[in-house]
Amino acid sequence: MNRAASIVLLVAVAAGCSTTTSGGVASRPSAPVSTSSSVAPSTSTTTSVPASTTSAATTTSTVPGLLGEETIGTSVQGRPITAYHRGTAGGIVVLVVGVIHGNENDGLAILDDLRTMPLPDGYDLWLLPAINPDGLANDVRGNGNQVDLNRNFPHDWTSIARPGEWQYSGSGPASEPETQAFMTFALRLHPALTLWYHQDAHTVGPSAGRDGPLRQRYAQLTGLDYVSVTGGKYTGVAATWVRKTMPDTMSFIIELGATLTAEQARVHADAVVEIMQMIPNV
């Protein structure tokens, strides 16, 4: 497959910020990626979503195999944040996020495969290529305000760094429109499983919780190391916010390697489909 032409990104990305394929879907930039962080320690907090954050109605998609697509919000720089819906409406809800750090974009190839590959009955799959379309378009970690969105979620939020520094957590918890849009969307969906792609630590972190078997199986299927990631201050993390806000759900980070071939992307997509079928048994 021609990954540059086929990768799913966002609908109607602002002109001049990315290239588009003949089908109107933006292609990802080809710049190098940087190492990201993993799951944060936690103490449960009450989440409040700003009232101004709303989610647009789902529209019927003209793409074969899709139930619809939805613009869940808008970025700082005015780009739409688009989710794609396929599978069995009303089934077990699974949400996969391709990009939260804009310069870690290999997850897009995996979502591209998930958009078209066969799915088992009974699973309601939502694909969110990029929660951070500004960072993706500009090939930078943070959003249009230079905020690391994976330090901006309200669970265990801590003031870190300053604008322009790599872990800048924003002016306050959930200060960014992208964070607010995701929170509203996730609370509405209440996904049984949420997966987040980062890179390039080549790991899936272990867990003693309910999602432990899913994490371990994903690592086995893809060849990723099954070890904890260290090296940063992990507060305000999106995956942790999902788990702590909806404790009956599962949410974890998958750290890809520095590069990802088309064949490897398909292996990861197959792994997603396999572990989501484990959900009823954990």
Q: How many CB atoms lie within 10 A of CB 63?
A: 15
Q: What is the pTM of this model?
A: 0.80
Whose tokens are 């997603």? That residue is 272
Average pLDDT, integer, range 188-199: 99
Please give the share of the chain, as a percent, with pLDDT higher than 90: 73
Q: Domain ranges for the chain, please list them.
A: 31-281
Beta bridge partners of 74: 80
| Confidence check: pLDDT of 229 > 80 | no
pLDDT at 59: 53
CA distance 87 to 121: 7
pLDDT band at 208 (very low <50, low <70, confident <90, very high): confident
Task: Note whether 75 and 90 are within 8 A (CB).
Answer: no
pLDDT band at 164 (very low <50, low <70, confident <90, very high): confident
Q: How far is CA 186 from the centre of its chain?
A: 11
Q: What is the pLDDT of residues 41-59, one digit of tens each?
A: 333 333 444 443 444 445 5
Select, from the ranges 1-5, 95-99, 224-228, the one with the highest average predicted confidence (pLDDT).
95-99
The DSSP symbol for 280 reads: G
Per CATH, the homologous superfamily of domain 31-281 is Zn peptidases (3.40.630.10)
Residue 262, phi-psi category: left (phi > 0), alpha (psi -120 to 50), beta (remainder): alpha
Q: How many CB atoms lie within 10 A of CB 239?
A: 26
Q: How far is CA 78 from the centre of its chain?
A: 19
CA distance 185 to 181: 6
